[in-house]
Every structure is written in structure tokens, then in C-alpha cells.
Amino acid sequence: MIITICVCIATAAFTALAIAMILSMRSIVRQVSGIAHQTEMLRQQSAELLGELRRVLTDAEEAVTSTGKQMKVFIHSASQLGEAFSRTAGAVNELSGAVTRTAADRVKKTANKYGPHIDEALNWAEAGLTVWHWWQKKCSAASKSAALSGQDEGHDKYERSESS
């Protein structure tokens, strides 16, 4: 009886451990997914801003060409600004790639670091569940045989009854 209780407690502990590890891995994956999503949004916004800036600069360049030589200095400055934005967008793109790679590396490292532990915990949980099912089956069979033999449920056949 005590061994059965210990087995049940061990099974519950291993199951809880496995569930906790799975939930923490899911949380890590969700966080990494969120970072990757934010990085992708930042890259898209940068690309959109760069495209809009190029269109504005093209329009401005056409207007300046029609106004003459005085505006060429402005165009040059705007062009340099566009190049600066382009370099900034490139840097943001590189940064987003680095963040994505770092996040992927962290997920891989975490999986490599905790993967064997999770596998072992799941194997223990599976073994505990198998023992639990076996025990339930045996208890059910013992209850049925005790009922058929006329004994009270939960009493050992060698246990004395109070009427004796």
C-alpha cells in the first residue's frame, strides 16, 4: 500500500516536472517568436520608409531641376540624407537579421541543453503513467474478485472481521 502511494506520488511529481518543462519551453518559443515577429515588422517598416523616402526624393529632384541651379545644393543634401537613411535601413536590416539569428541560436542552445532532460522526464512520466494504469487495472481486478467472493471491498482476505 505504501509502495503504491509512493509510486503514485513519484508519478505525479514526474508528470508535473514534465509539464513544467514543456510549458517553459513553450514560453521560450513564444518569446523568440515574438522577437522575430517584431524584428520582421521593423524591417518591413524600414523598407516602406526607405521606399517612401526615395519617392519623395525623386519628386523633390524633379521640382528642383525645374527651379534651377540654387536648388541643386538642396538635392545634394537630400540625396545624402537618403543615403544616410538607406544606410540606416541597411543597418536596421542587419540588426534584425542578427536578432533573428541570436534568437534562433538561443532556442537551439536551449533545446540542446534541456532536450535530454525533457526526454528523460517524459520517459519517467510515461513509465509512471504505465505503472499507474497497471495499478488501476490490478485494483479494479482485485475489487471485482473480492466482490465475487463475498468479501467487503478494501479488506484483505486474511484480515479478521469484527463479528468473529
Which carries the bigger pLDDT value, residue 129 or residue 158? 129
Q: DSSP string spanning 67-103?
A: H-THHHHHHHHHHHHHHHHHHHHHHHHHHHHHHHHHH
**Spacing of C-alpha 65 from chain mean position:** 55
pTM above 0.85, yes or no: no
In the chain, domain spans? 2-132
Mean pLDDT of the chain: 81
Which carries the bigger pLDDT value, residue 17 or residue 161? 17
For 110-140, how does the pLDDT look when each residue is reduced to its tens digit (9 = 90+)?
Answer: 778 877 877 788 888 898 899 999 989 888 8
Distances (CA, A) of 148 to 126, 141, 152: 33, 11, 10
Classify residue 152 by its DSSP letter.
P
